Chain A
């Protein structure tokens, strides 16, 4: 309990110090998470709310986003506060990519092999870009078990690099959604449940982002 409070105070202090330096440059807010957690859907929702246009194509087929996508000059204004940033949507991080999984989604063998190759490059790029981020939204699918190695690796790396982050428990509109499980799995971190598809709780997420930087 005491350790949790110390960590929170430490995170708040480092966020404050970092924010002083960040005011001088273009802020980058990245969307990170495992495959099919809803990163692009969330990126599209943020861009629609503050720019009136979408960023990328979301799909149920894994690894739809295979390249870093950036939407520049997004300006968020809420409760008298303002935040201008570049939104970076990243390919989902995975430890396995099997071209045969794409074939199961009705993709031809040749295209599946190409898609797998591009997806592996996407994972490498996502990890490389982590160092450039000023803040990260870690997007988790709240219907899935959050204790996955990919989630643990992402959070560990953000912690080690002292990059402020918010855990976004996405898909709260679905019956199996369990944000409490995510909170219990990663105690001491900021967690918010949203539905990027329906727009539920997005204002609360924006408030957290405005306060986090």
Chain B
């Protein structure tokens, strides 16, 4: 049975370890923001530390709403400044479950 969990950005931001535990258990995680490049790099590093014979890592994909907004980039930048999080969506799934995530600027496609 496939399980999908919606996680607020604030929870992921402060606790990669907890999210990785859920990914290890086969959960697909959807986050209500685009991670910053630094956060993505940190998540990859944490993932590498967690890899073992049963957990092969993650598939990661994201949409940056700033690219989707077209002429509304200023609004995006302003909202991000106020909220402290990048407008978008991030999808994280266990590599053993998700074969790949195909990314387009405005779409994410999961292949199982």
B102 A124 Cβ-Cβ under 8 A: no
A124 B48 Cβ-Cβ under 8 A: yes
**B residues less than 8 Å from A127 (CB atoms):** 41, 44-45
A145 to B109, CA, bound (A): 13
A20 at the interface (CB under 8 A from B): no
Q: How far is the CB of A78 from chain B (nearest CB, A)?
A: 32
Q: How far is the CB of B112 from chain A (nearest CB, A)?
A: 14
Number of residues in B with C-beta < 8 Å to the partner?
27
**A residues less than 8 Å from B48 (CB atoms):** 97, 120-121, 123-124
Q: How far is the CB of B106 from chain A (nearest CB, A)?
A: 11
A94 B102 Cβ-Cβ under 8 A: no
User: Which of the residues A3, A96, A120, A128 comes within 8 Å of B49, measured between beta carbons?
Assistant: A120
| Stretch of A48-56, A148-156, A172-180 at the chain-chain interface | A148-156
In chain A, positions 1-27 with a C-beta closer than 8 Å to chain B are 3
Q: Mark A93-113, 1 if CB is under 8 A from B, else 0.
A: 111111110000000000001
B56 A153 Cβ-Cβ under 8 A: no
A159 at the interface (CB under 8 A from B): yes
**A residues less than 8 Å from B101 (CB atoms):** 149
Task: Name A residues whose Cβ lies closer than 8 Å to a Cβ of B.
Answer: 3, 93-100, 113, 116, 120-121, 123-124, 127-128, 130, 145, 147-149, 152-153, 155-157, 159-160
B41 A157 Cβ-Cβ under 8 A: yes
Task: Name B residues whose Cβ lies closer than 8 Å to a Cβ of A.
Answer: 36-38, 40-41, 44-45, 47-49, 51, 53, 56-62, 73, 95-96, 101-105
Contact count A vs B, C-beta below 8 Å:
75
A–B Cβ pairs within 8 angstroms, 9 of them: A3-B73, A94-B57, A95-B57, A95-B60, A96-B95, A123-B45, A145-B102, A159-B37, A160-B36
A116 B51 Cβ-Cβ under 8 A: yes
B51 A156 Cβ-Cβ under 8 A: no
Q: How far is the CB of B22 from chain A (nearest CB, A)?
A: 16
User: Which of the residues B37, B38, B95 comes within 8 Å of A95, measured between beta carbons?
Assistant: B95
User: Which of the residues B38, B45, B58, B59 comes within 8 Å of A160, measured between beta carbons?
Assistant: B38
Q: A152-B103, A160-B36, A160-B37 are in contact. Are A96 and B59 (CB under 8 A)?
A: yes
